[in-house]
Chains A and B, each alone.
Chain A
Amino acid sequence: MLDLIIRNGTIVDGTGMPGYLGDVGIKDGKIVASGSISETASLEIDAVGKTVSPGFIDPHTHFDAQLLWDGRAKPAIEHGITTIVPGNCSLSLAPLRAKHRMKLVGMFNQIEEMPIKAFEEGVEWDWETFEEFLTRIKKDLTINVAPLVGHSVLRLWVMGDDSMQRTANEEELGRMQDLLRECLRNGAIGMSTSFVDMDETLQPVPSRYADQQELHALCEVLGEFNRVLQIVHEFYDADITLARIDQLAEISLKYKITTTFSPLFVNVTANDSVNRVMARVDEQFKRGARVWPQVQTRPIDISFCFEVPSLLFIRLPSWYQIMRFGSHDDIKAAFKDEGKRKQLVAEAKTMSPIWDGLVLRQVDSDANQHFVGKTLAEIAATRNTSTIDTMIDLSIEEDLQAHFLSLNMGHTDNDAVGNLLTNPRVHLGASDGGAHILSFSTYGDTGYLFSQFVRNCKALTVEEAVKKITLDTANIWGMNNRGLLHPGYAADVTIFDAEQIDRGEEYYVQDVPGGGSRYVRDSVGIDTVIIGGEIAYRQGEYTKSAIGSIIPGA
């Protein structure tokens, strides 16, 4: 007698081989049979007309904070994701001394746009070590978590304030190595570092003060445990990216570890840069190095309102300054002040083409409802004013609660992106799930993979797409016994309608502790999600029974 049998679905097993009609049997959290199963089970799921695949794995997320109040990492599971990798880009929530908590909250707020209030009201700070943090999130965990430990927090633990001042000395290097060893021993899947991020005072994060010697010392430890190095690099510049690829390749070859860098975007104006990057990746793979570029499926869309600082304004210092450091009233006052407004308008003109195409996506007042869905250029024409002035006026009228959407800011060339996704040396997934919650929805990239690149562009088959986000990801990260529907593998399973699977429309929802909001997307076409042999989500409903694991596990 088995625990669960999924009957008569099209089994797309993760290998990339053609799907076939059959049953999948589960017992004690593991796949025990596939094909024809004559046994019975205490629970059977009818999957006629559906595709049955291994659970999807999202390798680039920042769900660290959310896991403290939501062990499902909503809405990841309903998009078919059964395993997430948090702790990317040099930031994790452990190990962290009590006295450094607010420093790290500042960094999370700046880099991942996680509201400070959410930490104040949603988080009971009852951990310091990595082990204590994992114990804490395991109390109520549905999704599997393969956590990275952040280089910046290792530095902060060992060096305190000096972590943002200088390189480490020999003694500090030794302590950082020991600390990393302890994290890896307790279940970290690797370490993340950043060469670009800034803290809340716009100073470089601690990892950027590390020299080569320090990075190598830490990667030597990753080698001892055969674990992964993730970096976020200067993705806006191809020459620097090539230098980073070479740096990672040397590390990969020397310590025999997997490295991965993110993000890699297709840039329409500099299309050649992706080709140069991939040519270098190819060269380094041929030498035996493992240097995986992470590519996301979705185009870059940015949503914003003036209540919170937005990435879109990062190149406009006067705007960013007031959004980042000004209060609600300061921002409104600046908009109303004639001189200040003139300066803002002049500065915004340097990015002129963007504003015309902005779409008004949400307002509170009845008076402006009829503008929702229109571009600023269209609204400006009816109001006889400029687009930038329209954006400012609407924001004043809506008490800063006018939401704008900038569509297709990059990574929009579907043929080029599709082509890139099919490359066997491209690692699919840089969703940033759980981060940038005030700029765009970081959920639904897997649905978009199928709707856009399987059904629409036909760049990949269903089988190839499934392999990319299951077995390939598990292999790259060394997640043993995940990513295949073969006997002995963990019973993480996603059942979906291959003709329907998609991401839903983006919307703004207030569900972050402390009264915070975020942009999310529902899933389309996902029927059932099974984690560790238990149903975590079925036909629109979450259940309580599934328990997530820590991968690789303590």
Chain B
Amino acid sequence: MDDDIETYLSYLGLLRIIRRKKRMATIKATRTSIFPKGGDTWESIALRELPDMASKEAISILQSWNLHVFMRPAAAKDSTRAGNPILPSDVIFVAPPQA
């Protein structure tokens, strides 16, 4: 009986440790995103993040996942970013929305 209680208590203690470890280490996965590197374009992000996909397809899928960037008015013509709406501070999703 005493043994049982001891086992039970250590089991409880163990459970507590496991629980604490779990709490510290894991955090629920959310939709995967990246921050652009300097000078990143749709193409360079597609190449890096979706390497298994054909470039054209990867670009258009990236754009569809990131309408908040894709639909943004492009930079002024005289800007160094001309033709590229991506800003260094943007969140760029590299996965579809979670179901």
Contact = CB atoms under 8 A, between A and B. Distances in A.
Contacts of B91: 195, 234, 240, 243-244, 247
Contact of A202 (B31, B73, B79, B81): B73
Given A165-B80, A243-B31, A234 B23 contact: no
B47 interface: no
A246 B30 contact: yes
Interface string A185-214: 000000000010000011110011111100
A248 to B, nearest CB: 12
Interface string B68-90: 10000101100111000001111
Given A237-B68, A243-B30, A283-B28, A208 B89 contact: yes
Interface residues of A, number: 29
Contacts of B87: 204, 208-209
Nearest to B73: A202
B93 A239 contact: yes
A98 interface: no
A239 B33 CA distance: 10
Interface string A165-179: 111000000000000
B81 A240 contact: no
Contact of A165 (B23, B27, B37, B79): B79
A286 interface: yes
Overall SS of chain B's interface:
loop
A195 B35 CA distance: 12
A280 B89 contact: no
Contacts of A370: none
A242 interface: yes
A215 interface: yes
Contacts of B23: 286
Interface residues on B, range: 20 to 34
A280 B30 contact: yes
B38 interface: yes
Nearest to B66: A240
B97 interface: yes
B46 to A, nearest CB: 19
Contacts of B5: none
Interface string B21-45: 0011001101101011110000000
Nearest to A210: B89
A239 B88 contact: no
Contact of A167 (B27, B79, B88): B88
A72 B79 CA distance: 42
Nearest to A196: B68
Nearest to A249: B27
A211 B27 contact: no
Contacts of B28: 280, 283
A319 B4 CA distance: 77
Contact of B88 (A209, A234, A244): A209
A210 B88 CA distance: 6
Interface string A432-458: 000000000000000000000000000
Contact of A203 (B75, B93, B97): B75
Nearest to A166: B80
Given A165-B79, A239-B31, A286-B23, A215 B89 contact: yes
A207 B87 CA distance: 10
Nearest to A212: B35
List of 3 A-B pairs having minimum Cβ-Cβ separation, nearest first:
A211-B88, A243-B91, A243-B33
Interface of A: 165-167, 195, 201-204, 207-212, 215, 234, 237, 239-240, 242-244, 246-247, 280, 283-284, 286-287
Given A166-B38, A239-B31, A240-B91, 17 more contacts: A165-B79, A166-B80, A203-B76, A208-B87, A208-B90, A209-B87, A209-B88, A210-B88, A211-B37, A212-B35, A239-B93, A239-B97, A240-B68, A242-B30, A243-B91, A280-B28, A283-B27
